[in-house]
Amino acid sequence: MAAGVAAWLPFARAAAIGWMPVANLPMPVAPAEKNKRQDEMIILNVSGRRFETWRNTLDRYPDTLLGSSEKEFFYNEDTKEYFFDRDPDVFRSVLNFYRTGKLHYPRYECISSYDEELAFFGIISEIIGDCCYEEYKDRKRENAERLMDDQEDNKDAKPPNMTFREAMWRAFENPHTSTMALVFYYVTGFFIAVSVITNVVETVPCGSSPNQKEVPCGERYTVAFFCMDTACVMIFTVEYLMRLFAAPSRYRFMRSVMSIIDVVAILPYYIGLVMTDNEDVSGAFVTLRVFRVFRIFKFSRHSQGLRILGYTLKSCASELGFLLFSLTMAIIIFATVMFYAEKGSSSSKFTSIPASFWYTIVTMTTLGYGDMVPKTIAGKIFGSICSLSGVLVIALPVPVIVSNFSRIYHQNQRTDKRRAQKKARLARIRIAKQGTSNAFLDSKKNGLFNEALEFTSPEEEQHLRKTTSLLENQHHHLLHCLEKTTNHEFVDEQYYQQSYLEAGLQTYPSRSPSLSSRDGATGTCCTRRSKNRHAPLQNASGPPHMEPLTHQRGLQELSTIHILPLSTSRSSLNEPASLNCRITTAIISIPTPPETTPEGDAHLPTGPAHQNVVKVSAL
């Protein structure tokens, strides 16, 4: 139950009066409030600093130290206050959590001391409010990185049942996951390097025989190079086909950049195989060999930085565009000016404006080859202005690109981490929330409802009563009333599906005669039963995980709660004296020997025949 709205529980319970006319069953007894310590101030002395608050403020979160009975261990009888030997500054945040329902992380606190205080007071760190959560997590992460070794553990534990295809894809995408994948990774890397080096060495002039001019190695050792090329291309082809096979979405894979690079890298070879040694197409063939250099881009699978560089260039498209545009503008302006300035001088290399472009570019990028130089004074003046402005124009967009790269690089790293954190955090919060809705089902199963405990002797009560707070008892009583009103029970998902299946398999047998006879003898409520109440009894096994408590037969006085084992067979329900029942029963019998009768939630107290038996049904 959301403890933050605990103050509204009385209202919710009062509003339950609206269900009463609709309900056909009697309502369960309300939990009694033994000692009404509702409106009491308590003093918390934390290392000398006194904090005062209402008792029910602390009771809002019963699963923490201050909200549960654990704080009694710190109670000081003499001073009538609770003394904690902890840091009072951090305690401020802790107490504010109770008051406002939001836990804040003060920025000046050391992260580990804060964690220790939270652990001491039994508060999980996941409920830190959104305003402070990111800061908290950042600090925690920094701290952990500083303290721990730089061991990167395997982030994805291998899911147990993966198809061969999925396993292959995973091996391709994350080479660190298995040895095979690592081997494959390095082998392909090696062959890419070999292929690139081969292409380079092919053009180097090897030694030649004296009567011939120097030939490049490629033409001298044609066969060797051809074999090398074939081997590399085969490896690449096999790799491409394997990736294509393993890809979860083949169409998407074929459209991806990496696969296009793969294809372009191996295509020239096949085209070369297909084409005959024809004169007119050999020119085109030579051009195709240029594309072999694209194999070097295959390295981007092996290098994260290269991928990010490519991504940066893509995302910096606007800055690059600006650079290009401004450069073009400047080039045209200066080329025109230089052309007209040098027009007068003879033997000037500045023959036309496009010819001046080359000079302008070389000057603006401060290259200065010196193949074209101005000779006139005006030309030299404008030439110097050109080179100065070149420095400025180029220097401007470069920092933008660099900072983009840096930002994307760090963002890339942070995004993955944040995604993993978010999933884990949400999962933990969901589990905590589920705990509250399961609390009701759990207390049902253990059958330790308060009303039954009313009648037990005090000693028994001590060890039978779980430490459920009064607030929880009242909340559970409210949910119990709702069950009675609608004549249906809350169950958990597992059990619901189980019973759903069974309901589909077998039909309901008719009402057992034993029950109806007993029913006939009963008094008031039976006559107004609605039709759907026979169902629960005939349906078979209830939640399979109820633990039988010990019970002593033959007790003459008030007995303990008796939880019966579940019935798994329907036929047994037809026996009148059958002890199998789906739900627990507590029978308090005074003079007569104790007798347990089956009772489902459709139940009705037994009639006048058993008047000495005061039956209290506990679900």
Query: Is residue 205 a contact partner of residue 214, using CB atoms and an 8 Å limit?
Result: yes
Q: In whole angstroms, give the CA distance from residue 219 to residue 202.
A: 8
Q: Which is nearer to another protein, 288 or 535 (CB)?
A: 535
Q: In whole angstroms, give the CA distance from residue 94 to residue 531.
A: 53
The 10 Å Cβ neighbour count of residue 61 is: 21
Least distance in angstroms from the C-beta of 508 to another protein: 10
Question: Which residues are bridge partners to 83 per DSSP?
Answer: 45
Q: Which is nearer to another protein, 363 or 485 (CB)?
A: 485
Query: Is residue 125 a contact partner of residue 136, using CB atoms and an 8 Å limit?
Result: yes
Least distance in angstroms from the C-beta of 504 to another protein: 10
Q: Which is nearer to another protein, 30 or 296 (CB)?
A: 30
Q: In whole angstroms, give the CA distance from residue 103 to residue 90.
A: 11
Least distance in angstroms from the C-beta of 492 to another protein: 6
H-type helices in 20-71, by residue range?
A: 55-58
- Rg for the chain, CA atoms, rounded: 42
Q: In whole angstroms, give the CA distance from residue 383 to residue 341.
A: 10
Least distance in angstroms from the C-beta of 437 to another protein: 4
Q: Which is nearer to another protein, 43 or 482 (CB)?
A: 482
Q: In whole angstroms, give the CA distance from residue 90 to residue 160.
A: 44
Least distance in angstroms from the C-beta of 91 to another protein: 21
Q: In whole angstroms, give the CA distance from residue 518 to residue 604.
A: 10
Least distance in angstroms from the C-beta of 438 to another protein: 9
Q: Which is nearer to another protein, 4 or 205 (CB)?
A: 4
Q: Which is nearer to another protein, 529 or 551 (CB)?
A: 529
Q: Single out the residue of 223, 221, 241, 243 nearest to residue 231, CA to CA.
A: 223
Q: In whole angstroms, give the CA distance from residue 524 to residue 339.
A: 115
Task: Note the residues at the interface with another protein (CB under 8 A).
Answer: 1-2, 4-5, 7-27, 29-30, 33, 38-39, 54, 433, 436-437, 474-475, 478-479, 481-483, 485-486, 488-493, 495-496, 499-500, 503, 524-525, 528, 530-532, 535-536, 539, 542
Q: Which is nearer to another protein, 24 or 315 (CB)?
A: 24
Q: In whole angstroms, give the CA distance from residue 86 to residue 500.
A: 53
Exposure of 599 by Cβ count < 10 A (0-12 exposed, 13-18 middle, 19+ buried)? buried
Least distance in angstroms from the C-beta of 519 to another protein: 16
Q: Which is nearer to another protein, 252 or 433 (CB)?
A: 433
Least distance in angstroms from the C-beta of 441 to another protein: 9
Give how far Cα 210 sits from Cα of 8, 214, 222, 244, Å. 104, 9, 20, 51
